[in-house]
Structure 1
């Protein structure tokens, strides 16, 4: 069965996606940094699933449930009632935030304690295909492993021993168990995660989740072999280099003499997944780290793929780069300024939550559709026979 995972953009969220990837083969993984963006993201999934003929499973991990997301739970169940019996999509929610319990209570959902697992709460949504579990005493990473029967397609996880170390370390640091002996290891993992999650292979690229999961598992393997947090800090560049060596092995134009990030930039510059072409030829990306955007945009323009590139951040800021003097002209359309080939602006709405959302906001301003010939005020003159 097709599985899509939506998870938080932090160590625990990626820990949960790493667990899932060790137990099955998800079709897609969507990472959401802000709980306020969860509502629009799940609504987009609801529309997609409403059109899907085959049954799918949607897995939500480590996402604080706010009012729009809770409304989505009811709408998901309503969608399933419109489908054929037994053909409803599956929905699994694994969360551990106290605020989620409070929000569900405000929306009329009563918790049902699990007799076999103290601290675990179940919330019914009047749909047997929907499972909502909240456990304040467990990280989402541990919950994904504990409740793997809800989605797993493999009887045993890949790299089980390394995964067990990862789960313990993430559990300690995410629940802030400072006296747990694994807490320092969790902190070291957290540092390695944040140093690489956005600046190596960005979210949205097909290799992103595999790269981050391997980084976490290889780091966990080092911890399992006895590495201290200081040892791990020194090992991470070596781990990252090995991952990039494998990633770039078949990539054309690779230069092993360059730094890891400069090597990867050549791969990213050719990515159709990261860059959406606008009608005027501008390439638009979403949420790229500023350093990554600079490296990649330079390569895109040097290779002639586009003369102008724009990156939209979740906060609504836009960064334009060009090699034909048009960056400033683009930024001015978004209340911005700067240099002819390097400028910035701000979205009218203030924020964006996905690449599709960024395109929907930028395209009408930057590359508005031209009127058809018959709509032109000169069409009548051109067609007049006299």
Structure 2
């Protein structure tokens, strides 16, 4: 049996997945997806259905910290009915899901607890509790439902901020690695639960915690450690991330942080590549080169941009952001074909 867990993109949402992983990962194969509200939920659910259809395994879908609209509930329920061996459960605390809860037996709602605590109470009731995890869950609960008189509230605030700023690994390109990073951060948060002035201690330790995750070998600055880690991931996946421009080979990334460092480091580590393009949700393109192609001319031809021979930028007005990397890369590939005629 497979477990697929779709959750929100904040501390509470990831906390739900940390809890399910804690209780279930040794028993079942697991996949994790994350979404904000609205149409993105539908797109992620379609990705989940595609995974189910490709594996043909018995599957439990868990949705947490996301309230669905009635039309989404109807659509999801119909999709489940069409597939044998697939079950769905939703664990949430947003009162706006009240109508859906009344009409769907698989929809569980309790607005007195955060979704992470709902998940913990659900799974610990089956498998037994864990003291360390319970303390962490109570910390998340204190900040998520804003119990500002709770002694764990200030620590929860630091945890919440740390997760919202953990952007070093783009999950569209590297979902598994991105989830491992988030889970590592949450695991380390547990070290500060019950500690005097734990919120201050965690705030002081966050830089070192991040370095601990990205350090593979010798120490360095956080920026260089992240770049080394990301260049490793990009290098492993480069065959699926490549594009051609006028006889030159390049790589396409999306919403990658510190593109100047990572782009240049990738080109230094992969001499067969001549340029590096990063496209963002804001439709901006960053071009980096290594002297083999003038990326200022490339940016000018493709999007009317420009800059320097090895570092340029532009605006891709027709770009459509999404959650499938292959579709993002295809848009850059099509842009190159349209503008060069090749």
Normalising to structure 1: TM-score of the pair?
0.74
Q: 1:67, 1:334 → 2: CA distance?
A: 41
1:220 to 186, 190, 193: 190
2:144 to 170, 174, 181: 174
| Within-5 A mapping of 1:260-299 | 260-272=222-234, 276-280=240-244, 281-289=249-257, 291=258, 293-299=259-265
Helix, strand or coil: the match of 1:270? helix
Residue 242 (structure 2) pairs with residue 239 (structure 1): no
| Structure 1, 5-14 or 91-100: larger mean CA deviation | 91-100
Query: Per-residue deviation at 1:50?
Result: 3.0
Q: 1:76, 1:306 → 2: CA distance?
A: 43
Match of 1:137 in 2: 112
Query: Per-residue deviation at 1:77?
Result: 2.6
Residue 90 (structure 2) pairs with residue 93 (structure 1): yes
1:138 and 1:171 in contact (8 A); partners too: yes
Q: Structure 1's 259 and 336: CA in aligned 2 closer, same or farther, altered over 3 A?
A: same
Match of 1:148 in 2: 123
Helix, strand or coil: the match of 2:167? coil
Match of 1:111 in 2: 102
Residue 25 (structure 2) pairs with residue 28 (structure 1): no
2:192 and 2:202 in contact (8 A); partners too: yes
Alpha-carbon RMSD across the aligned residues, in angstroms, is 3.1
1:223 and 1:232 in contact (8 A); partners too: no
Match of 2:9 in 1: 9
1:328 and 1:343 in contact (8 A); partners too: no
Q: 2:22, 2:300 → 1: CA distance?
A: 44
Query: Per-residue deviation at 1:350?
Result: 4.3
Match of 1:320 in 2: 287
1:255 to 218, 233, 238: 218
2:242 and 2:251 in contact (8 A); partners too: yes
Which structure has more helix as a fraction of its residues?
2
1:185 and 1:228 in contact (8 A); partners too: yes
2:276 to 295, 309, 330: 309
Match of 2:67 in 1: 64
Q: 2:50, 2:176 → 1: CA distance?
A: 23
Question: What runs of 5+ residues in structure 2 fail to find an aligned partner?
Answer: none
Match of 1:190 in 2: 160
Q: 1:300, 1:164 → 2: CA distance?
A: 42
Q: Structure 1's 274 and 320: CA in aligned 2 closer, same or farther, altered over 3 A?
A: farther
Q: 2:119, 2:301 → 1: CA distance?
A: 47
2:7 and 2:65 in contact (8 A); partners too: yes
Residue 294 (structure 2) pairs with residue 329 (structure 1): no
Q: Structure 1's 43 and 296: CA in aligned 2 closer, same or farther, altered over 3 A?
A: same
Greater Rg by CA: 1
Q: 1:90, 1:30 → 2: CA distance?
A: 17
Q: 1:78, 1:311 → 2: CA distance?
A: 41
Query: Per-residue deviation at 1:187?
Result: 0.5
Q: Structure 1's 180 and 210: CA in aligned 2 closer, same or farther, altered over 3 A?
A: same
Helix, strand or coil: the match of 2:132? helix
Residue 154 (structure 2) pairs with residue 163 (structure 1): no
